[in-house]
Amino acid sequence: MPKTPSVAPGLHIDSLLAHGGGGHDPATGAVSPPIQTATTFVRDEAYELIKPGHIYSRDDNDLYHKTEGLIAALEGGEESRLFASGMAAVAAVARIVRPGGTLLAQSGIYWGTTLFLRKFCARNNIALVEADACDLEAFLDEFSVTRPDLVWLEVPSNPYLKVADILKISAHCRQTGALLAVDATAATPLILKPLSLGADLVMHSATKALNGHSDLLGGVVTTRDAASEAWTFIKEERKLAGAVLGSFETWLLLRGLRTLSLRVGRMNQNAAILSDYFERHPKIETVLYPGVAGHPHHDIAKSQMKGGFGSLMSVLVKGGKPEALKVTGALDLFQRATSLGGTESLVEHRYTIEGEGSGIPENLLRLSIGIEHADDLIADFDQALSAI
């Protein structure tokens, strides 16, 4: 039986990513892993498995194991599990809270997560408390009042780009026995590692920058402690409920991860240039980006985020909804679409998506900064802003 090749330990994370977390395929010598499409695996005449641990592909998939191992290494965690989408990963973590329990969630986060948590908690007799995690004193005061079982943060938050103090909140969680989960989708594990700051679980929508090419849905959860009760539940939830990623999608994700470092580097560089441009533009009212020196959470972001501040930002256009929509309509290079983290730059008028009930400002544009040349991105906004 040939030994499975692997990348030597101690390599820089860039090298680990470039090799997809491992060496060539031992069966064929291929430099990229094969896609195993089989859903079930045979046994021999004695009814022993031909390959131990391979019964049914809902959980037994070598591509899952390879990709999950690479992401766990990126996060500095013990284990990861892939899910069919980012929201499937959110749902699996939320289900840790039993009926009668309490979930304390950061307010002003991704609207899809907020809506899901509200409906999920209402249906299951779970108390949902939403509070501003960046008002640290008030947020920590909620612990003594609500006694949460699970605390949910999003760092940086989408679309307001707030940065909660994970270190201080995680210390309070340990004191009170609460579990802390952090959605770090907008940062990527190359910039922010919540597990190293005391979080118990970290979640990403793999649809976004981890894959980076806007061509798959996926999610992933990583744990700091693979022996914990919460992680045992999440593994069972993924296997038994069946919210698994397909083999082809997992292969695409692993391929995308190989260029993560290069993409994140360029996207962060472009975001820094664009934020400086917007800060100086007379038709931009406010820039929401933690890399801006005047951002209220800039110092916390610097202490937690390494190598950049992410490629997601929001800007408030001077005026109101008509002006914001006029700018989006005039953009050529920025594509008008809902997502983030891809190679292409996107613009989204969030009020149109969320509606009045979310409280989103009508003049807010959410931007996902891609890997194009920064001069072209600036030129596109120059001509679009001249329209108002």
| Marked catalytic residue, from 58, 168, 283, 302 | 58
Tell me whether residue 351 is one of the annotated catalytic residues: no
| Marked catalytic residue, from 110, 160, 289, 351 | 110
In this structure, what token pair is assigned to residue 9? 């330990």
- Burial class of residue 242 (count of CB atoms within 10 Å of its CB; 0-12, 13-18, 19+): exposed
| Marked catalytic residue, from 62, 149, 183, 380 | 183
Give strand pairing partners of 105: 130, 152
- The dihedrals phi and psi of 347, each to the nearest 5 degrees, come to -130, 140
Tell me whether residue 263 is one of the annotated catalytic residues: no
SS (H, E, C) the chain: CCCCCCCCCCCCHHHHHHCCCCCCCCCCCCCCCCCCCCCECCECCCCCECCCCCCECCCCCHHHHHHHHHHHHHHCCCEEEEECCHHHHHHHHHCCCCCCCEEEEECCCCHHHHHHHHHHHHHCCCEEEEECCCCHHHHHHHHHHHCCCEEEEECCCCCCCCCCCHHHHHHHHHHHCCEEEEECCCCCCCCCCHHHHCCCEEEEECCCCCCCCCCCCCEEEEECCCCCHHHHHHHHHHHHHCCCCCHHHHHHHHHHHCCHHHHHHHHHHHHHHHHHHHHHCCCEEEEECCCCCCCCCHHHHHHHCCCCCCCEEEEEECCCHHHHHHHHHHCCCCEECCCCCCCCCEEEEHHHHHCHHHCCCCCEEEEECCCCCHHHHHHHHHHHHCCC
Give strand pairing partners of 366: 314, 348
Q: In terms of Cα–Cα distance, which of 373, 271, 377, 260 is closest to 314? A: 271
| Marked catalytic residue, from 66, 193, 208, 224 | 208
Tell me whether residue 56 is one of the annotated catalytic residues: no
List Cβ neighbours of 337 (8 Å cut-off, separation of 6 or more): 346, 348
Tell me whether residue 224 is one of the annotated catalytic residues: no
Task: State the Cα–Cα distance between residues 132 and 105, nearest whole angstrom.
Answer: 8
Q: Which residues are catalytic?
A: 58, 110, 183, 208
